[in-house]
Amino acid sequence: MWFLKKLCTSNARLEGKTVVITGASSGIGKETARDFYGRGARVILACINMEEANEAVKDIKSNPPFRIKKDEYQNGAGELAIYFLNLCSLKSVKDCAKNLLMKEAAIHILVNNAGVVAISYEKTEDGIETTFQTNHLGHFLLTLLLLPKMQSSSPGCRIVNISSIGHIFGDIDFDDINLEKSYGPLKSYFQSKLANILFTRELARRLNKANVHGINVYSLHPGVMPTKVTRHASSTIFPGGSYAYKFVLWVLPWAFKTVEEGAQTTIYCSIDEKTANETGLYYSDCNIVNPRRKVTNDEYAKNLWDVSCKLLNLEPEENFTKFLQTVSRQI
């Protein structure tokens, strides 16, 4: 349906801007990278699979988004670079951040896009449930490590966290954050997507309290679309789950978005002039929407922040400047 597929209409150019996108070798991340590259940005694909990332770079360079003609696209294109990032390893997150801080003169936009859904229960090398670390904690740490660079690159910097409408089914189990007692593949996903929105809200609050201006934070639901994130459904949710998803996609195509359509709200939050003075909010279909009521609970968001810090062996210092200095010492 047309009203489910609103597009970012901004003609903003991104020459001189550097963008970091996690999980940009496929899906929404790749389409976001394609759009930003066409606007003249230096786009960094932070990915775990280098072969896929290199293929993505070739594809992005050869195929423009639907809004641009090929000759205009190539004439106005920016740069593409690849950095290795494995969100399941906090050491990899730190190494990636260190490389970015050393090699990049500035970072203006960070899109925390990478994610997993409906995977079997396992823990990372850091002893943290994989979905929670991939979808939330790894991005939490990466964002904190890159914030000083973004401060020096401001104003006009933005952090965009890809969440999901699935957050409405989520809850944060502070007593069992790894879900060792009650794991479910969708339960873990919904918890992590709720965490994305709570992190956005709390980070915006702390930046404001510390009088750090020029960095806005956004979270969003991109829409439902056929991407790789459903590939585990048959083995973790119910037998044939992946095929059932594809069948629904075939029967009800109007209810789904293409991947390029799914990237539009990410692009909107990252560059649109109308969002330049907004922060800490949640978006869907290029509009502000109200998330689940629990998200507006400041204490709930603070508790997640504190638990996230504890998992990273950080003291949740209220003085945000001192806190970032402590985080930076980790690398």
| pLDDT reported for residue 228 | 53
Query: Residue 3 falls within a domain, yes or no?
Result: no
Amino acid, res. 72: E
Query: Residue 225 falls within a domain, yes or no?
Result: yes
DSSP string, 4-39: G----------TT-EEEEETTTSHHHHHHHHHHHHT
Query: Residue 123 falls within a domain, yes or no?
Result: yes
Query: Residue 318 falls within a domain, yes or no?
Result: yes
Q: Is 58 exposed, middle or buried (0-12, 13-18, 19+ CB in 10 A)?
A: exposed
The tokens of 254 are what? 């109007």
Give the orientation angle of helix 27-38 with respect to helix 50-62, to 10 degrees: 40
189, 245, 283, 300: the catalytic one is: 189
**Which secondary-structure segment (H or E) carries 288?**
strand 287-288
Closest CA to 12 of 108, 87, 88, 104: 108
Query: Residue 4 falls within a domain, yes or no?
Result: no
Q: How many domains does the chain have?
A: 1
Contact 172, 274 (CB under 8 A): no
Q: How far is CA 323 from the centre of its chain?
A: 22
| pLDDT reported for residue 121 | 96
Full pLDDT tens readout for the chain, 331 residues: 444 578 999 999 999 999 999 999 999 999 999 999 999 999 999 999 999 999 999 999 999 998 899 999 989 999 999 999 999 999 999 999 999 999 999 999 999 999 999 899 999 999 999 999 999 999 999 999 999 999 999 999 999 999 999 999 999 999 999 999 999 999 999 999 999 999 999 999 999 999 999 999 999 999 986 655 455 444 444 454 444 444 444 344 445 699 999 999 999 999 999 999 999 999 999 999 998 888 899 999 999 999 999 999 999 888 999 999 999 998 8
CATH number at residue 48: 3.40.50.720
| pLDDT reported for residue 1 | 42
Query: Residue 33 falls within a domain, yes or no?
Result: yes
**Residue 183 is among the residues annotated as catalytic for this protein:** no
| pLDDT reported for residue 30 | 98
**Which residue's structure tokens are 């709200």?**
265
Domain hosting residue 76, numbered range? 12-328
| pLDDT reported for residue 317 | 87
Query: Residue 159 falls within a domain, yes or no?
Result: yes
| pLDDT reported for residue 233 | 44
Q: Determine the straight-line distance between the first and last CA of the chain, rounded to whole angstroms.
A: 47
CA distances from 228 to 50, 81, 133 (A): 17, 23, 18
Reduced to 3 states, what is the DSSP secondary structure of residue 257? coil
Query: Residue 124 falls within a domain, yes or no?
Result: yes
